[in-house]
Structure 1
Amino acid sequence: MAFLQHRVRRYLRQGSFRLKRRRTGLACLIGLFCTPALAEEGDLHKLRLGEHSIAVEVVETAQARQQGLMYREYLPDNQGMLFVFEAPKTVCFWMKDTLIPLSVAFLTDDGRIVGIADMQPKSETLHCSPRAVRLALEMNQGWFERNNTQPNDRVEGLDAIRTLRP
């Protein structure tokens, strides 16, 4: 009888361990699928603005541009999103469902900054480019100011992005 009790106890301990392991695995999967995705390292393109290196997600379709950084709760330092439009035009941004404060720089085809705007979370205020542009770069709010970025500064590395090549 003692032998049987020992085996039952061991089985119950193993079952408890397996259950804990399953719960942990399930919690990890739920966390993975319920967290807004940040770009994987392979999805990021490296750009330079002066002496600063920036990693950007590139969005080029109308649907991806419309989604932008909405619902994200965090954006790492020196990481942003580059919006690519089909042709130069005046573009406007708002922050209706965006949870983090952002700054946007409006860029010409060659990467020259023509305007910068700070945008508040969950705001429907429009922030428009001062002239026709093909690119817009969103970063954490204040990034451009902290890094002494001004209109006429140039973002480098855009030629490596396939959709921007002639």
Structure 2
Amino acid sequence: MIALALLGAAAACQSSHGNAGPIERSAAGLQQVPLTVRSGSRTHKFIVEVAGTPQEQATGLMNRMSLAPDRGMIFPFPTPRQASFWMRNTFIPLDIIFIRSDGTIANIAENTIPFSEDQILSEGPVSTVLELAGGRAAELGIKAGDRVEWAQ
């Protein structure tokens, strides 16, 4: 009960997005930042949680029951590397977007299968991975080669 009360209090203390600037912390305690995907002449805006530590990255979006269409999670790496993800303990399908160090999308694993332990790999070294709700990339026309920008 105490944990639920603390989570509720944390959610209530969040600032709103808009002219006030980036949201500081999510209910899970992660920093949140604005992120933009530029796809041709279209711009898609999201608020993403930053999984910045090894522990946060290991947990990711596990045990979450939903993800709003304008939300996501970003996994920055200190140096570019081949990235490998899986869906263990993940209840919702995700689009896993692999991003090169120049900000361009290398590849997208769309609508990944919840609870699957199959490896989902980047096509070459990447510096960041973005997770969105499953099907969102196709819905918005986001594709390899598009550019991702976020407050680091």
More strand by share: 2
Q: Would you identify which runs of 4 or more consecutive aligned residues in structure 1 move more than 4 Å?
A: none
CA drift of 1:52 comes to 1.1
Give, in whole Å, the separation in 2 of the partners of 1:120 and 1:143. Answer: 15
Give, in whole Å, the separation in 2 of the partners of 1:33 and 1:72. Answer: 17
Superposition pairs of residues 18-29 of structure 1, within 5 angstroms = none
CA drift of 1:111 comes to 1.4
CA drift of 1:88 comes to 0.6
Give, in whole Å, the separation in 2 of the partners of 1:32 and 1:94. Answer: 31
User: Is the counterpart of residue 154 in structure 1 residue 147 in structure 2?
Assistant: yes
CA drift of 1:116 comes to 0.1
- Could you list the per-position Cα deviations for residues 86-107 of structure 1 after superposition, in whole angstroms to 9, with x for gaps in the alignment? 1111011000111111011000
Match of 2:126 in 1: 133
User: Is the counterpart of residue 121 in structure 1 residue 103 in structure 2?
Assistant: no
1:93 aligns with one of 80, 85, 89: 85
- What is the percentage of aligned positions where both structures have the same residue? 34
Given the superposition, is the C-alpha separation of residues 112 and 32 from structure 1 closer, same or farther in structure 2, using an over 3 Å criterion? same
Superposition pairs of residues 69-84 of structure 1, within 5 angstroms = 69-84=61-76
Bigger Rg, structure 1 or 2: 1
TM-score (norm 1): 0.72
Structure 1 residue runs of 5 or longer lacking an equivalent are 1-25, 162-166
Give, in whole Å, the separation in 1 of the partners of 2:52 and 2:4. Answer: 28
More helix by share: 1
Match of 1:53 in 2: 45
Give, in whole Å, the separation in 1 of the partners of 2:51 and 2:4. Answer: 25
Count of aligned pairs: 130
Give, in whole Å, the separation in 2 of the partners of 1:67 and 1:31. Answer: 19
Structure 2 residue runs of 5 or longer lacking an equivalent are 15-22, 26-31
